[in-house]
Chains A and B, each alone.
Chain A
Amino acid sequence: MIPAAFEYTKPSTVDEAVRALAEGGEDARVLAGGQSLIPMLRLRMAAPTLLVDLGGLGELRGVRDDGDALVIGAMTRYADLLRDPLVRDHAPLLAQATATVADRQVRHLGTIGGSLAEADPAGDLPSVAVALDVSFEVVGPGGWRTISAADFFVDFLTTALGDGEMLGALRVPKQDGWGTHYEKFSRVAQAWSIVGVAVAVRRENGTIAEARVGLTSMGNRPLRARAVEEALAGAPATAEAVSSAAARAAEGADPPTDVWASAEYRSHLATVLTRRAVVAAGGIHAS
């Protein structure tokens, strides 16, 4: 299909972009990689009157080392993340999840900022972001501010971004010393997750000192599997302990029923995939 008519602008600085968004008002939309937005326009499920293309903002593209965190520009493409040595060394979970997104074509256009701003609970990066407590650096008419991952995802396709605000960068805490794993389950290879589980585990001696578990497609937004995390904290690093903790993966979740899977099946999958992800992340051997 063909999108409805719209105006288009491609600013070359963040300030220009913010101004363009303000002038465009309610019907202005940011265009990043277009991999979610353009299909919506073509199906006429969205019909903004102005598109502000961030493709010209070099300052928002790239990965920077900032001490205990990486700062990743919102316009950094999936393919950039996959090639980046800093991401590989300090945020391997992000790289692993990114590699499961869609296909090569989509990964060369889609951006980390677009993926998070889209706030699709079936997207693979939002659950990683909540698992890692990524902070969201956003900019708008009132300047820059920081939103926590816990606060950023408000509802289905809804974020805490205010009027005229856009996502500028992500602060991703380094996971040095953590074991991580992303376990994705989809109908066909190049598709969204039916369920995905993002796990980071820190081991101390024979126990699991701390675990973070993010769930994809288990509710109206990316979730933390708190019950699993609590059960794992201080638990022995054994297959049995992991199994019994993972059995609580769907607690408090509200998974959807759709053409791909029922809520019941998703809940079941969450427990299996969580177990597998924790086992892989924690290097836990069958006893």
Chain B
Amino acid sequence: MTTVQERPAGEVGAARKRKEDARLITGRTMWTENITLPGMLHLAILRSPMAHARITRVDTSAALREPGVVTAFSGRDVADTQGSLPCAWPVTEDMVHPDHPPLAVDEVRHVGEAVAVVVARDRASAVDALAVIEVDYEPLPVVLDMEDALAEDARLVHADKGTNKAYTWVFDSGEAGTGQGVDAAFAGAEVVIKRRYIQQRLIPAFMEPRSVVVDPTGDQHTIWSATQIPHILRVMVALVTGTPEHKVRVVAPDVGGGFGGKLQVTAEELIAFMAAQRVGKPVKYTESRSDSLVSAHHGRDQIQDVELAARRDGTVLGLRVNLLANMGAYLGIVTPGVPLLGAFMYNAIYKFPAYRFVCTGVFTNTTTTDAYRGAGRPEATYAIERLMDELAVELDMDPVEVRRRNWIKHDEFPFDTVAGLTYDSGNYEAATDKALELFGYEALRAEQASRRESGDPVQLGIGVSTYTEMCGLAPSRVLGALRYAAGGWETASIRVLPTGKVEVVTGTSPHGQGHETAWSQIVADRLGVPFEDVEVLHGDTRTSHKGLDTYGSRSLAVGGIALVNACTKVIEKARPVAAHLLECDVSDLEFADGAFRVRGAPSDAAGKTIADCAFAVFAAHDMPDGVEPTIDADATYDPGNFSFPHGTHLCATEVDAETGRVTIRSYVAVDDVGRVINPSIVEGQVHGGVAQGIAQALFEEAVYDGEGNLLTGTFIDYTPPSAADLPDIVSDRTETPAPDHPLGAKGVGEAGTIASTPAVINAIVDALRPYGVSDIRMPATPERVWQALRGGARS
């Protein structure tokens, strides 16, 4: 175990206000939609109203005659050149990987699929002209349900593939040598809990709709896009379109949220690219909210058949997971891999020795699914945390006690898990104790007992959820072993300007996370420069040449290490310069409090700062022999392991037994994300994440009708909650440093989303137990709760 460096007193750990917020909150910044270029044209997209149909005819000629229209074309017009949207994660060798044309050619396979486009001088003319494009559809049978799709004589989403099964991926601890075989574990079990949980389909619902501008007029084709992944997009555009990579520049300007929903190489980006090339002028496309809800990728949508084996003393012996994962109609950039990110997390914080996971990816005539905040890990955590509660009930044990009996103790780290990972560090005891105390667990249990006793029509429920997650995606060798096409390293560059100001270029691509602030805090401490003197640049392949962008709670956990390493290199490059200026030997110098001084000199003795060295190399009049006149440095870091934050969330719900209305009365989140760079950013991430997890538990679901029409195609129907629907969140922390990170930091981007959904559902089910209810479908709408109460009462 490596030791963690002491936290420097200073910026790191301070609740700095975020530098980027003034411009983000006022909107006075460059969003993609704000970009206007000389001669720019506007694109509108005609989308399929059918979930599955053959396209027998598309006629765009009438659109060409509409005022302002410059060009119009359909998939057939570009069939030979448009290429196929990429999937970078073929999880098995024999995975079925259908073509995914940006514009549908002969067949549409979900409502909302792009069919034809119009490019016009203004946006309204482009939209108007869509109305006169004629498309003849010949309906084909629709398959929506995953189990139907896997049936013998199923209707096929991709007829030429002969199956709706994309892949089956298996992990077995017995076979992998990471634990025992599950069959033996189940054979020896005293208790077996078997359940089916449904992870409903969700829509990421980022605030800024997707938008793209393509300018084909320069030496480089420039793509501005509201994306999380400008670097990956550049590589993919080059590969898909055949444009040489050095002729493509991608810029992610300020981006208004993503939650995984903008971790995609989208049809719209490639369509805009094609359109711009066709007309030789800049082209802009910004989706409407209605377009976004039906065409941007969705998340979750899994059926989880899970089985837990245990002894009557509460010791868990093994877990079987049989998963169906809805791919939607096509495979997005990491669609097949999302459930696999969960595969490593079903064992959660527990020590049980046997585990088997089987996942089958299934095609249906629905919008493609892909990463959504947590990506696989919320689903896994939900299943195991629901099962632990069921086990507690079965054994008549407190749900916290059942967890305590199974979790890894703080002195057992690093811990090799049954799923084959090595958990770096953690202290589940401390986080749980703190959460119980803040929550007032005992008092609430007492109140619950008395309300049950009195038959109160409003029942109290208490939900427990513990979690860990793998952050810091990802060690490249692990990704390689999982057949992912890219690596998981990250880069940082530091340029110290002649006046001592610092430019930091990061390969991460923030879209609301606050990297500019956190990175400035880190650099300020490391180089001894003021926070305000650091400028963080990102998201433009012209300034940030390399990077793997932002998702999977990786930016600080991986990119932060690259940043610290780059700082260290700057100091090392400045050292001979400072020694020369101070006329001493390099080995006599130490760097502290922002300056090089002769070792042993008092801290107020004159020294040479990084700024002094930067000016010296700029002038370069008097450099030591053989020393390069620069102190700028780059670093690229590939993590050796993931990082594993954890926490305990507790939720108290009040359930109105008459109406089924669930109200969250109190919510406590104690998270351990290692050392914290900026507590208010961490708190913001936790609050937002908890809100999104509560949204899955109580409010949101993408619903299709029998023909594959999205019924929740507006926010009015999709019902994302607002602040008025959410509780006050008490959030606190314990700090167990990450041993592999020089700052001790882990990731925090997804924690809240992962922990909160099972906390809320466990609380609802706990409230309903006296009525004989042992499960509730998500989202637990008032009507579902009411139905469960009626069903429970009947049984």
Contacts and interface: CB of A to CB of B under 8 A. Distances in A.
Summarize A's interface: helix, strand, loop or mixed.
loop
Contacts, number: 55
A4 interface: yes
A103 B723 CA distance: 12
Contacts of A2: 123-124, 127-128
B721 interface: yes
Given A5-B128, A259-B717, A188 B659 contact: no
B128 A4 contact: yes
B124 A188 contact: no
A1 B786 contact: no
Contacts of A261: 781, 783
A259 B703 contact: yes
Contacts of B717: 259-260
Interface string B618-662: 000000000000000000000000000000000000000011010
A259 B123 contact: no
Interface in A211-259: 259
B658 A272 contact: yes
Interface in A177-205: 185, 187-192, 194
Among A2, A194, A260, chain B packs the most CB atoms within 10 A around the CB of A2
Interface in A1-55: 1-2, 4-5, 42-43
B721 A262 contact: no
Given A2-B124, A259-B703, A259-B717, A269 B659 contact: yes
B584 interface: no
A64 interface: no
Contacts of B782: 185, 187, 194, 265
Interface in B540-594: none
A1 B658 CA distance: 41
A153 to B, nearest CB: 22
Nearest to A43: B290
Contacts of B699: 187-188
B716 interface: yes
A145 interface: no
Contacts of B127: 1-2
B655 to A, nearest CB: 14
Contact of B721 (A4, A103, A188): A188
B783 A188 contact: no
A98 to B, nearest CB: 17
A88 interface: no
Nearest to A185: B659
Nearest to B656: A272
Interface residues of A, number: 24
A108 interface: no
B725 A1 contact: no
B288 interface: yes
Nearest to B695: A188
A163 B531 CA distance: 67
B786 to A, nearest CB: 6
Contacts of A189: 721-722, 724-725
Interface string B128-153: 10000000000000000000000000
Contacts of A1: 127, 288, 290
A111 to B, nearest CB: 20
B290 A190 contact: no
A268 B717 CA distance: 21
Given A1-B288, A2-B127, A5-B128, A190 B722 contact: yes
A187 B719 contact: yes
A191 B786 contact: no
Contacts of A188: 699, 719-722, 724-725
- 7 residue pairs, one from A and one from B, having the closest CB atoms: A189-B724, A265-B783, A2-B127, A1-B288, A187-B719, A259-B711, A2-B124
9 contacts: A2-B123, A188-B720, A188-B722, A189-B722, A189-B725, A194-B782, A261-B781, A265-B786, A272-B658
Interface of B: 123-124, 127-128, 288, 290, 658-659, 661, 699, 703, 711-712, 716-717, 719-722, 724-725, 781-783, 786-787
